[in-house]
Amino acid sequence: MPRPSYLPEFPGSMASVATHELVRKTYALLAATLVVTAVAAMFGMSMAFPYQHPFILMILAFGVLFAILFTGAKQGPLALPLVFVFTGLMGLSLGPMLAVTLQLSNGPLIVAESAIGTAAIFGGLSLYAWISKRDFSFMGGFLFVGLIIVILAGIANFFLQMPALQLTVASAALFIFSGYTLVDTSRLVRGGETNPIFITVSLYLDVLNIFLSLLQILSFLQGRRR
């Protein structure tokens, strides 16, 4: 699922005690959302609904996401529960893709490599942004334009079904969401974002899209049919 550009760009400031507390809360919530997604994905692999109605799931997820933006901005009590509803829906929609990958003879290895690769990329880039304290907000405009191109190319490939284009889109998405990881983490550690709901959802989408991109790339390059 593409990452919406909803977080405002603020000038950076050095991390304070309050920022460290925000970082702790954000990553704890991020870990919880990933657990919810993993559990929902396991259910999604065996449920009929995600296979039969993937677009309905996506529409529901987008609807919940916009509800998060509204309630989170107002610090509403529904914001946190909606985050878990959103990540659960994303997990359900991920189930069929995981099931298809696991049907490959080396499917479990591809899923494991994708998860490890995601942890390495996200963790490494987040650590770099944290240590360097650099302001990566200058990348936002370039990444947003790239994201729009990737979305349009993905829509086109839905009809064209060109494997080479799919690989290109996945590779571009990997690059874009790796960049967004730097942007979002620097915003967090420099004190540019104070809403843990917003920054958690942003980082969650970075992680999810890095994983999906790696899963598609590795399935294309290494996948072996039974």
CA proximity to 90, closest of 136, 33, 47: 33
- What CA–CA distance (Å, rounded) separates 132 from 80? 30
pTM given for the model:
0.88
Structure tokens at 147: 């994201």
Structure tokens at 134: 């650099």
Structure tokens at 61: 């997820």
Domain segments of the chain: what residues? 17-222
- What CA–CA distance (Å, rounded) separates 204 from 127? 16
The one-character DSSP state at 48 is S
pLDDT of the residue at 114: 96
pLDDT of the residue at 35: 97
Tens-digit pLDDT profile for the chain (226 aa)?
545 443 444 444 444 677 778 888 999 999 999 999 999 999 999 999 889 998 999 999 999 999 988 877 666 788 899 999 999 999 999 999 999 999 988 889 999 999 999 999 999 999 999 898 888 989 989 999 999 999 999 999 888 888 899 999 999 999 999 999 999 999 988 877 778 899 999 999 999 999 999 999 999 988 677 6
